[in-house]
Amino acid sequence: MRAGITRAHRARSAVVAVAAAVLALLAGGCAMLTPPQPGTQRAAVLQQWGAPTGRYALPDGGERLEYASGPWGRTTWMVDIGRDGRVRGAHQALGEAQFADLAARVAGMTPQQVLFELGRPAQVRAVGWQGGELWSWRYPTNDCLWFQVGFDRERHATSAGYGIDWSCDPPNDRQ
């Protein structure tokens, strides 16, 4: 029986190692994109980066393009385009400085306002019997954490902070 557990554990470890290598290669390809420089034409951004994962109106009539790296990704680039169709700036939206700024003013924000700041979350899940949702973003960190924003049943943000990303934990083979 012990040999069977060891064999199964080795097989699972090999599959996890191969999957991690494939994901690293894929993530490495995404990480090679450099943010567009101010003055770059919108069409050039779309040609280099492809279709954005989100689009948001800027207060002055411009547009913010969101480039999220997906539910397992840890980056979301926001590219601000002016009314003249040129890049005004680009920034990585998922970072501790951005989270601290957002957490200080998150109370009462709408989902659209949070999306404008951070882009689409990696996970959205319902919260308990009171209703509401918990949105979670992975971000560049060496810890198994994600940033989370809670919404009440009326879809107003109530809190923001860090939570444990349980998917980082290895499987527990002890029984």
Q: Are residues 97 and 148 in the same domain?
A: yes
Q: Are residues 161 and 112 in the same domain?
A: yes
Q: Are residues 88 and 130 in the same domain?
A: no
Q: Are residues 117 and 174 in the same domain?
A: yes
| CB distance 89 to 39 below 8 Å | no
CATH of the domain at 105: 3.30.1450.10
Q: Are residues 102 and 54 in the same domain?
A: no
Q: What is the 3-state secondary structure (H, E, C) of the chain?
A: CHHHHHHHHHHHHHHHHHHHHHHHHHHHHHHCCCCCCCCCEHHHHHHHHCCCCEEEECCCCCEEEEEECCCCCCCEEEEEECCCCEEEEEEECCCHHHHHHHHHHCCCCCHHHHHHHHCCCCEEEECCCCCCEEEEEECCCCCCEEEEEEECCCCCEEEEEEEECHHHCCCCCCC
Q: Are residues 48 and 107 in the same domain?
A: no
| CB distance 94 to 77 below 8 Å | no
Residues of the domain holding 18 = 1-32
60 Cβ contact list (under 8 Å, min separation 6): 82, 83
Beta bridge partners of 61: none
| CB distance 53 to 67 below 8 Å | yes
| CB distance 83 to 60 below 8 Å | yes
pLDDT block averages, 10 residues each, the chain of length 175: 47 44 42 86 97 97 96 95 98 97 97 98 91 95 93 96 86 60
pLDDT of 174: 59
pLDDT of 167: 84
pTM: 0.78
| CB distance 127 to 150 below 8 Å | yes
For the chain, what is the domain count? 3
pLDDT of 59: 95
pLDDT of 129: 83
Question: Of the residues 73, 92, 111, which one is the last residue of a structural domain?
Answer: 92
Beta bridge partners of 54: 66
